[in-house]
């Protein structure tokens, strides 16, 4: 093994890391990076602080690991938009996949929102690099559909931004959504209601005129 090679983790070590990351996600999603401490993460994990630091050198390492995983997961639905597909079908699928993520990964969404609200100091390079390149690629796909008359003309970048905003609202502001909908409507059916509304909003708005 070379000096630069990293030793492989055992199954137990990997399980411990995953357990710590799960606790860190809970703490970060509630308190943000600045408001979180190693002690809080250790308490949430039911482990000692030295044990936490054996697996992760700092809370920043845990935070960056979580953000990197989140970005991989968050960008997957956008990558799936297919330029040879039907525009309405592709956009409907994207809206649905984003709402499913809001339903299934609300803590990850709040973790990302907290990081961005702080100026994204730990992920700026990722936003300006991988994310920007992917959005430009998919904006070009949407622009092509518009030039071909398959969608109404609109700004493709702001279309993508608005889909992010409307779908992630159901994760980041879940408490508000449930409070306003009330007990008769705040079950899991709220995501299907949201999907139908957003499909109507975007797909009707983007349907070619005439």
Reading the block at residue 186, the tokens are: 């705040």
Alpha-carbon distance of 109 to 116, in angstroms, equals 11
What are the boundaries of each domain within the chain?
7-57, 67-206
With 80 as the cut, is the pLDDT of residue 5 above it?
no
Domain 67-206 of CATH type 1.10.357.10: yes
Q: DSSP letter at 3?
A: T
CB-based contacts of 40, cutoff 8 Å, min separation 6: 27, 31
pTM of the model: 0.83
Q: Let me know if 8 is exposed, middle or buried by CB neighbors in 10 A (0-12, 13-18, 19+).
A: exposed
- Summarised one tens digit per residue, pLDDT across range 62-119 is 998 998 888 888 889 999 999 999 999 999 999 999 999 999 999 888 888 888 888 8
DSSP string, 50-106: HHHHHH-S-HHHHHHHHHHHHHHHHHHHHHT--TTS-HHHHHHHHHHHHHHHHHH-H
Whole-number pLDDT of residue 7: 61
Domain 7-57, architecture per CATH = Orthogonal Bundle (1.10)
149: helix, coil or strand?
A: coil
The Cα angle at residue 118 between residues 112 and 120, in degrees rounded to 5? 60
- Tokens 């709220």 correspond to what residue? 190
Alpha-carbon distance of 58 to 52, in angstroms, equals 9
SS3 content of the chain, % helix, strand, coil (to 5): 75, 0, 25
Whole-number pLDDT of residue 3: 46
- Summarised one tens digit per residue, pLDDT across range 136-153 is 999 999 999 999 999 999
């Amino acid at each position: 093994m070379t000096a630069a090679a990293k030793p492989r983790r055992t199954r137990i070590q990997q399980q411990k890391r995953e357990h710590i990351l799960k606790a860190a996600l809970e703490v970060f999603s509630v308190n943000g990076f600045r408001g979180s401490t190693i002690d809080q993460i250790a308490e949430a994990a039911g482990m000692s602080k030295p044990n936490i630091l054996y697996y992760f050198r700092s809370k920043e390492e845990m935070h960056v690991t979580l953000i990197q995983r989140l970005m991989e997961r968050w960008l997957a639905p956008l990558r799936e938009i297919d330029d040879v597909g039907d525009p309405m079908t592709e956009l409907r699928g994207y809206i649905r996949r984003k709402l499913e993520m809001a339903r299934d990964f609300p803590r990850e969404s709040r973790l990302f929102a907290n990081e961005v609200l702080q100026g994204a100091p730990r992920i700026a390079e990722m936003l300006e690099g991988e994310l920007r390149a992917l959005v430009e690629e998919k904006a070009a796909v949407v622009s092509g559909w518009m030039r071909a008359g398959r969608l109404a003309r609109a700004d493709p970048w702001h279309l993508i931004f608005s889909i992010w905003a409307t779908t992630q609202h159901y994760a980041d502001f879940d408490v508000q959504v449930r409070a306003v909908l009330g007990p008769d409507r705040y079950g899991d059916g709220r995501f299907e209601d949201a999907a139908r509304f957003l499909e109507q909003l975007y797909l009707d708005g983007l349907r070619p005129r005439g």
